[in-house]
Amino acid sequence: MSYGTPSAGLISILVIYLVLSRPGRGSIGRNIRGPPSPSWIFGETLTPSHHLLLTALNYTGHMLQLMLPPTYGHYEFDWQKLYGPAYRLKGCFGQDRLMFSDPVSLQSILNSSHFAFGPTLENFLYLLFDDKSLVQVNGSAPS
């Protein structure tokens, strides 16, 4: 029995894993502090808690905390006090998400030539405004 093909497959999987998980690879915001994430898959978990004789769900995780807060901005303002105007959150499958609450940094990020709009946003803007509108023009002055 030949073990050449399974061995080659196992070696290639190992090489791909080592290349993708090497140190130094990752997002720019990896060194930015943020709240710890309790779950890798969804960036959230649900834990039961008892409050005023009612069984409620205590949302402990970034995505559900942002979508279902007890009051508007409850978690965001706490995180802003702890970590400053820029902090890192975990999204689904461990993706890093950056949260900015400083308008000057948002302006410099969104207006820089290094920020590229994704194809989904470009298609949405094209359908909404047409490609000759000022909202859609990127780069030099419109013609």
Residue 58 reports pLDDT greater than 50: no
Of 17-31, 47-61, 85-99, the least confident = 47-61
Residue 60 pLDDT:
47
Residue 108 reports pLDDT greater than 80: yes
Residue 127 reports pLDDT greater than 80: no
C-alpha dihedral sign at 8, 11, 15, 20: positive
Query: How many Cβ atoms are within 10 Å of 96's Cβ, its own excluded?
Result: 16
Q: SS3 of 4, please?
A: helix
| pTM listed for this prediction | 0.53
According to DSSP, the residues that pair with 89 across neighbouring strands are 97
Residue 89 reports pLDDT greater than 50: yes
Q: How many CA atoms lie within 13 A of 58 on its CB side?
A: 8
